Amino acid sequence: MPKPKIIAVVGPTASGKTSLGIYLAQKLNGEVISADSRQVYKGLDIGTGKVTKKEMAGIPHHLLDVASPKKQFTVDDFVRLATKAYSSILQNTRIPIVAGGTGLYVDTFLGRMNYPQVPQNSALRKKLESKTAPQLFVMLQKLDPRRAGNIDPHNPRRLVRAIEIAKTLGQSPAKEEMLGTSDSHYDVLWLGLAPAPEKLKKNIRTRLLERIQCGMVEEAVELRKQGLSYKRMEELGLEYRYLAQLLQGSITKEEFVSQLERAIQDYAKRQMTWFKRNKDIQWVGSKTEALRLAKAFLSR
């Protein structure tokens, strides 16, 4: 039996994935499965640049607003819900389009890699909860230098998880060990967006300033009123890490903008490093080119 087809639109933040995903869905009678590790959370709208109802243009989107920001959402959670969404899209006789920049989510869901199935260690987590991100990073460097080389050193949640895996497995499996070891259930067309570095930097800055103008700081204040702790905001990373620092007065508004802009640029570089390992990705320069490739893929 032929494998069911699915289209994946990937690339760094601010590269235009959301717009391309919606365009393809409009042209191909599709629905979008969002693959963003923070847009799954309710209330994290402006900070994450979550697609609005108007921008969706009537295209159904899955895996948005499916979890409380107070609770941790895992790779396993994503795969489970994305698989369910995929089945729902097929029942509607529409084309599934995965669009997002969280490479771990996309690759695990589509079978490019096996993620370590290491259960949470409550005792270890309790022991680590009082440590700062720099302290956790030093621990990880000693336990698993390879993982320390490609992790966000400022994200305590991910650092704790990496330490948890390292203490259980000795070290995290290399990407090469995880890639290609899982038999994908899908026939995937991989489409990638990779704007030129200067163009991407400009996109990141423009997008950041627009989100601030649209109420990113006010959104963080509202999240605090709803009981989201500063510690949890730090764990959510990027925008919310710096919003937590701004609201606590540890950085100024100017520092908030400049430091967050640099952090997003660094994140985009890590995303590109991740996706460039996937030799199946066809990097496209326009929506027209992407649509041509998608039509050829679906007709074969």
* pLDDT tens-place string over residues 1-28: 788 999 999 999 999 999 999 999 999 9
* pLDDT surpasses 70 at 102: yes
pLDDT over 80 (residue 35): yes
For tokens 């890490």, name the residue: 241
pLDDT value of position 202: 98
Count structural domains, the chain. Answer: 2
Q: Mark whether 100 and 129 lie in a shared domain.
A: no
Higher-confidence residue of 247 and 130: namely 247
Q: Which of 59-63, 67-71, 158-162, 257-261 has the lowest mean pLDDT?
A: 158-162
Structure confidence at residue 172 (pLDDT)? 61
Same-domain check for residues 29 and 105: yes
Cβ-contact 189, 297 below 8 angstroms: yes
129 shares a domain with 107: no
Task: Return the closest-CA partner of residue 268 out of 208, 217, 186, 179.
Answer: 208
Question: Higher-confidence residue: 156 or 82?
Answer: 82
Asked whether residue 106 falls in the same domain as residue 26, the answer is yes
Q: Which residues pair with 95 in a beta bridge?
A: 30
> Is the same domain home to 20 and 145?
no
Give the pLDDT score at 176: 46
pLDDT value of residue 173: 58
| Model confidence at 277: pLDDT above 50 | yes
Res. 148 pLDDT band, cuts 50 70 90: confident
Mean pLDDT of 18-45: 98
Integer Cα distance of 278 and 264 in angstroms = 22
Task: Name the average pLDDT for the chain.
Answer: 92
Q: Do 24 and 169 fall into the same domain?
A: no
Which of 43-47, 147-151, 234-238 ranks highest by mean pLDDT? 43-47
Q: How many CA atoms does the CB half-sphere of 205 hold within 13 Å?
A: 7
Quick one: pLDDT band at residue 171, thresholds 50, 70, 90?
low
**Whole-number pLDDT of residue 296:** 98
Q: Whole-prediction pTM value?
A: 0.84
- Domain match, 71 and 89 both: yes
Report pLDDT for 181.
45
Same domain, 230 and 135: no
Does one domain contain both 109 and 219? yes
Q: Are residues 216 and 262 in the same domain?
A: yes
Mean pLDDT of 182-210: 93
Helices (H), the chain: 17-28, 53-56, 75-91, 103-109, 122-128, 133-143, 145-148, 156-169, 175-178, 197-213, 216-225, 230-236, 238-247, 253-275, 287-299
- Mean pLDDT over residues 141-159, rounded? 85
Q: Amino acid identity, residue 106?
A: V
pLDDT at 2: 85
Cα(56)–Cα(264) distance, rounded to whole angstroms? 24
Q: How many CB atoms lie within 10 A of CB 115?
A: 18
Is residue 138 located within the same domain as residue 274? no
Look up residue 41 and give its DSSP letter: B
Q: Mapping DSSP to helix (H, G, I), strand (E, B) and coil, where does residue 284 land?
A: coil
CB of 193 closer than 8 Å to CB of 16: yes
Give the residue-averaged pLDDT of 183-194: 91
* Residues 132 and 275 occupy one common structural domain: no
Q: What is the CATH number of the domain that holds 90?
A: 3.40.50.300
Which has the minimum average pLDDT: 112-121, 175-184, 191-200?
175-184
What does R_g of the chain's alpha carbons equal in angstroms? 19
The tokens describing 283, both together, are 């990097």
Residue 230 is predicted with a pLDDT of 96
- 63-67's contacts with Cβ under 8 Å and 24+ in sequence apart are 63/33, 63/34, 63/35, 63/36, 63/39, 64/34, 64/39, 64/40, 65/39, 65/40, 65/41, 66/40, 66/42, 67/40, 67/41, 67/42
226-231-236 Cα angle (round to 5): 80
- Identify the domain containing residue 276 by its residue range: 5-113+183-299
273 or 152: which leads in pLDDT: 273
Q: What is the pLDDT averaged over residues 171-193? A: 70
